[in-house]
Structure 1
Amino acid sequence: MANKTPADKGAQGTLQRGKACLRCRKRKMRCDGTKPACQQCTRAKKGDVCEYDDGKGKTRTQILRETIVKLEQRVRELEDPDYVSPVVTLHDPHGHSRSGSSDSSYGSPESSYLSASHSPFLSESPTSPAEPWQLQGVPSPSPSPFIPEILYDDQRGFQPPFELGQMLLDIFTPHRLQCGLGIHIGQLRESLSLPASQQRHPVLMNAIYLWACFVSRPEPLCQHEEHYLRHSLEALPDALQRGDKSMDVIQASCLLSQYFLANGRLIEGSYHASAAAALAVQIGLHGRSSREVYSWSSSEVEGFDQKPPKIDLHDGERILTFWQVYNLDRCWSVVLRKPSVIPDGPTAWNSIYCPWPQVMADYETGHIGGTAVVQTIKSFLDGEVSPDGFSIPASRVKASTLFAHADLVSKTWELGSKASGILEEELRVVEHSINMLLSILIPINQLDAVLPEDKHTLVLAHTLTHCAMIHLHRSFAQDDSLSFEKCSRAARSCVDIIKHISDRDFAFLDPIVGPCWWSVAEILIRELDTLETSWPLMDSSDLRNDIGAILYAMNSLGSRFPIIAPAMAKVQKRLS
């Protein structure tokens, strides 16, 4: 009886604090401390992920991260024979607790690379970073002699080892909706074990690996962003020559665009967004079905990836890819003050008939939303209701639509010296569409009850829709008290949304939310200026607290997306 096993000890009493496995700690379950896998994890068939962080050695996660770094180091040595490996970083089992990292290393907030009128996100300044931002002075461990050779095929491009590819894909997977990628992760993961010729094109895979490094900031893995960025860009010409890889090109171009935009590299981001939108229209993703493609394209381009539609994941991925491009094109066109690329005109060739997007699980079961007999976006703006337009991805698309449409209508108002009855009616119609969408979205105070990835999409949908109201009225809010009040209410609604965002959520938000928060801050600052000028004795603490909440959100997002830094500096300057 004196020699009890760990299981016996767990059965007899409570395990000492801090000795439970990481999975039981996270799920707040009683752990018996059995190694290598506790009973809770064993019963849940999660024994392979049961790990302990007791300071006596490395956890499985730490080992995987170090393996990634070592493999990346090997890649760099194979590419550059003159490259000298940095000094080996030894593991200190007593120093496993990681200290907090500084957010200030993302560049000086005083350096503004954007000009400002209504929005600071207009043009690139000479001080924009010319290279992807990287942390300095973080050494990578020297390579292990047992690391497998890197596969590099002249026709297929760079292919990392299977284990490294899977690790990077696992890192990227929770962030796939952050950049709008609609792809079946299970099939993508299985394809990594197939011959290179049967895998997705390296242009897409390296863009995914790039994002895996990007979202790992400030971990050492982010030092390899430039490596995967270069390989994705180098693979682009080959992918464009292969007609059956057009989808990979579009998806990769969207990922590259989002990466550049998030890092403040606006010209490059705009270029890849426009290229993705143009190619999506060229191959007919916006049309009624994959049959409706330019006839000359399928006849002249051998192996062009256009087949009759089927009720399968392939067709679902086509639909999701179009809306990925659409969201990128519509939202960032507003921010960058440029015309959108995807048309939606009166003729069949330039109209959007693509069905409303659904979640990937619906496509797995054979559900394809809608029959595409009417123009999807036009019917929505006309007030028509589609039974397939209530999914969370569809709500995101509708929010993007209203964000862009409200800005367009507002610019039309600005161009005229006097508002006409037609424009006033159009304003009323857009405002009604905004209020209708807000009425069907899951309320903000209920977002904690949905899945995390759905919460992040809904936070964005709410924010874009309220910002649509701001864009609709802000051009004449200074002269019209009613418009000013509508902008103010929308701005405060965005502040309420921020109060329901946890610190963890910031790592999964779409970068477009940053420019939206600047629009909100601009309205609140304008209101603060008016209050302090006209009524200097009136208490402005509530308004300053709202601006402080916006500043906190911008700071939390800015530590990940450098594009936020210039606007954040302006808010800080006004509050000081």
Structure 2
Amino acid sequence: MTAKAQNVWSQFGLLSRPGSALHSREPSVSAPSRPPSAQRLGDVPIQVRQTLLNTFVPYSADLGFFLDFSEFCNSVVSSSPTYPVTPALMYTVFLIACRLSHSSQLSALEPGLLSRAVASTAQVLSVTSTSPGEHSGVKVLQAIQSHVLLAQYFFLTGRKLEGKYSVTLAVSLVLGTRMHRIRSEEEFSRGQALHPSGYTGYSGGPGFPPPQTPKEESQRVNAFWTVLALNSRWTAIEGTSTSLAYWMSAMRVDTPWPWVRLGPSTRNSSTIQKFLANAPDNGNSPMASHSKACILLEQAFELENRVAEGSTSGQQFLSVFNNLAVLTARFITELPSIESIQESTESESGSPGNGSSRKRALLVIHTLARVALIKLYSLYEATNPSSSSERARAQQFQLEAAKEAARMIAMVDLRRAAFVDPIMAILWRIIAQVLSAQEARGRVQAEIQSYVDLVMQAMSMLAPRSSLMSDQLVKLQGSSR
């Protein structure tokens, strides 16, 4: 521990003891230290907790916080909370808040909080609960939330391997508890056959109880889609094998889109397959749109993998390409414009949201969808090497998508933003590369360069708090010389 950090921890009454997580070096995810006990939460003074929460609040939706944020905050700052909060969730929230903070004192706490967050999250479900209100459903949701936030932290700081590991753990939890089959028509029919009287349609997996309230069921739905979106976008960008292959029957998703009102008799099936088949649905919430954009991105990259493997014929490629291109274009036209968002807009998660958060979310959604289009048309260009007119048409589609994505950056005030989804570091670099390639082909250089400048300025503003953004910016600057 540095002298500065030791002084800060001592000032807050948080000085680590020999053998504690804070006293040790930063642990790896694969070898966690002993988790802190719930009693250790008391060593973070209420005033410090409030300061950290105030830093976290504006970005809770951006980070994928799907639990009741007001309930969480009340428990964190209360001396006798009624809603149990695991050390894993608390320390992970505090960790990210320190990362986003402008305070050098709070930033100095980051290494110690990282040790605690990693240790407690790794073993959150192995610690026996003594709180009567902390049933396994709540604890599992908090475990998933902790893994999601820890993944975001690792991606933000450029530690992608650890970020992907956290995503894999979150995926394992949602699949193991069958959150991909919430309100499943098939599960209900099978359950009715086995238990004709009183079957409710919930199949939560071994040892995982049905939701206690409609609110908890909604949180499970939101947890699933948050994890799927996180997995889909990073699997696509990194080119790795997915842990959630929803196109396979064993992992087929029946869970309704998030923020859809569920009645007692609501049943659902093949949610993603129907979306990809261009069937109309009621998934219009920001969270649903974000999930759809991530799915479209993943499908575009998955098509590239199939072409590279030679597992798809020319006719099959054209069929899938046309379907995805039409679907993605329609999806984009149906999205709200960033300019339509007012600053007073509240977030859907119950947190004191604002228009700035909503605008950032839309910027991410629009960018994901346009990079999906860019990937599709770059594939189309590569598969038509002998047709100059088709190549030119594909290049024009890529250019227009990249220009639109760059143009939207100016619609969001990023000067005061401490956080934007880390995936944007990769997406913006892709967009800048497309623009630069078109400039090299003799397009109007001044216009193209203005779009490249917009992208690089945005990356520069966010680079101080994001190692990943900084790394991608350096690579982009190097390639443009």
The TM tier, using the shorter chain, reads: 0.7 to 0.9
- Counting aligned pairs with the same residue, the percent is 22
Cα deviation digits, residues 434-453 of structure 1 (max 9, x gap)? 01111111124434565222
In 2, Cα distance between equivalents of 1:515 and 1:487? 16
Cα deviation digits, residues 527-571 of structure 1 (max 9, x gap)? 12222xxxxxx7511111211111111111222211022321233
Which residue in the other structure is 2:191 paired with?
none
| Residue 286 (structure 1) aligned with residue 180 (structure 2) | yes
Which residue in the other structure is 1:564 paired with?
469
The answer on whether the counterparts of 1:285 and 1:354 sit within 8 Å (CA) in structure 2 is: yes
Which residue in the other structure is 1:420 paired with?
314
Q: Which of residues 337, 344, 359 is equivalent to 1:455?
A: 359
The answer on whether the counterparts of 2:12 and 2:45 sit within 8 Å (CA) in structure 1 is: no
Which residue in the other structure is 2:52 paired with?
168
Q: After TM superposition, give the deviation of residue 474 of structure 1 in Å.
A: 2.1
Which residue in the other structure is 2:392 paired with?
481
Q: What residue identity is the alignment partner of 2:155?
A: L
Which residue in the other structure is 1:337 paired with?
239
| Aligned counterparts, 1:71-470, within 5 A | 73-79=11-17, 154=37, 157-159=40-42, 160-192=44-76, 193=78, 195=80, 199-217=84-102, 219-241=104-126, 242=128, 243-244=136-137, 245-289=139-183, 291-294=202-205, 297-298=206-207, 304=208, 306-308=209-211, 310-311=213-214, 313-345=215-247, 347=249, 349-358=250-259, 371-387=266-282, 389-416=283-310, 419-447=313-341, 451-470=355-374
Provide the secondary structure at the position in 2 that maps to 1:545. helix
Q: Call closer, same or farther: CA 1:156–1:236 in 2, change over 3 Å.
A: farther
| Residue 551 (structure 1) aligned with residue 456 (structure 2) | yes
Q: After TM superposition, give the deviation of residue 419 of structure 1 in Å.
A: 4.9
Cα deviation digits, residues 190-244 of structure 1 (max 9, x gap)? 2232647952110111001111111114643111111211112222354222545
In 1, Cα distance between equivalents of 2:275 and 2:430? 25
Q: What residue identity is the alignment partner of 2:48?
A: L
Q: After TM superposition, give the deviation of residue 253 of structure 1 in Å.
A: 0.7
The answer on whether the counterparts of 1:262 and 1:561 sit within 8 Å (CA) in structure 2 is: yes
Cα deviation digits, residues 151-200 of structure 1 (max 9, x gap)? x9746554423332233222211111121111212111222326479521
The answer on whether the counterparts of 1:410 and 1:473 sit within 8 Å (CA) in structure 2 is: no
Provide the secondary structure at the position in 1 that maps to 2:179. coil
Q: Call closer, same or farther: CA 1:72–1:416 in 2, change over 3 Å.
A: farther
The answer on whether the counterparts of 2:258 and 2:288 sit within 8 Å (CA) in structure 1 is: yes
Provide the secondary structure at the position in 2 that maps to 1:186. helix
Using structure 2 for the length normalisation, give the TM-score.
0.79
Q: Call closer, same or farther: CA 1:323–1:164 in 2, change over 3 Å.
A: same
Cα deviation digits, residues 27-68 of structure 1 (max 9, x gap)? xxxxxxxxxxxxxxxxxxxxxxxxxxxxxxxxxxxxxxxxxx
Provide the secondary structure at the position in 2 that maps to 1:240. coil
Provide the secondary structure at the position in 1 that maps to 2:85. coil
Q: After TM superposition, give the deviation of residue 74 of structure 1 in Å.
A: 3.4
In 1, Cα distance between equivalents of 2:263 and 2:285? 12
In 2, Cα distance between equivalents of 1:488 and 1:514? 19
| Aligned counterparts, 1:28-39, within 5 A | none
In 2, Cα distance between equivalents of 1:494 and 1:131? 38
The answer on whether the counterparts of 1:356 and 1:370 sit within 8 Å (CA) in structure 2 is: no
Q: What residue identity is the alignment partner of 2:240?
A: K
Cα deviation digits, residues 296-323 of structure 1 (max 9, x gap)? x22xxxxx4x224632x22221111111
The answer on whether the counterparts of 1:355 and 1:370 sit within 8 Å (CA) in structure 2 is: no
In 1, Cα distance between equivalents of 2:220 and 2:252? 17
In 2, Cα distance between equivalents of 1:443 and 1:274? 33
Q: What residue identity is the alignment partner of 1:212?
A: A
The answer on whether the counterparts of 1:191 and 1:199 sit within 8 Å (CA) in structure 2 is: yes
In 2, Cα distance between equivalents of 1:422 and 1:264? 37
Provide the secondary structure at the position in 2 that maps to 1:477. helix
Q: After TM superposition, give the deviation of residue 72 of structure 1 in Å.
A: 6.4
Highest relative contact order (Cα 8 Å, sep 6+), 1 or 2? Answer: 2
In 2, Cα distance between equivalents of 1:227 and 1:372? 46
Structure 1 unaligned regions, length at least 5:
1-68, 82-129, 133-151, 299-303, 532-537
Relative to total residues, which structure has the larger helix share, 1 or 2?
A: 2
Q: What residue identity is the alignment partner of 2:471?
A: P
In 2, Cα distance between equivalents of 1:386 and 1:425? 22
Provide the secondary structure at the position in 1 that maps to 2:203. coil
In 1, Cα distance between equivalents of 2:307 and 2:16? 59
Structure 2 unaligned regions, length at least 5:
1-6, 20-24, 28-34, 129-135, 184-200, 346-354, 386-390
Return the index of the structure with the highest Cα Rg: 1
Higher mean alpha-carbon deviation, 564-573 vs 314-323, is at 564-573
Provide the secondary structure at the position in 2 that maps to 1:239. coil
The answer on whether the counterparts of 2:74 and 2:81 sit within 8 Å (CA) in structure 1 is: no
Q: CA RMSD in A?
A: 2.9
In 1, Cα distance between equivalents of 2:231 and 2:281? 23
The answer on whether the counterparts of 1:257 and 1:273 sit within 8 Å (CA) in structure 2 is: yes
Q: What residue identity is the alignment partner of 1:406?
A: A
Q: After TM superposition, give the deviation of residue 417 of structure 1 in Å.
A: 9.1
In 2, Cα distance between equivalents of 1:191 and 1:218? 24
| Residue 498 (structure 1) aligned with residue 402 (structure 2) | no
Q: Call closer, same or farther: CA 1:380–1:217 in 2, change over 3 Å.
A: same
Q: Call closer, same or farther: CA 1:503–1:483 in 2, change over 3 Å.
A: same
Which residue in the other structure is 1:507 paired with?
418
The answer on whether the counterparts of 1:182 and 1:321 sit within 8 Å (CA) in structure 2 is: yes
Q: After TM superposition, give the deviation of residue 415 of structure 1 in Å.
A: 2.9
The answer on whether the counterparts of 1:514 and 1:557 sit within 8 Å (CA) in structure 2 is: no
Q: Call closer, same or farther: CA 1:188–1:218 in 2, change over 3 Å.
A: closer
In 2, Cα distance between equivalents of 1:154 and 1:418? 53
Q: What residue identity is the alignment partner of 1:185?
A: F
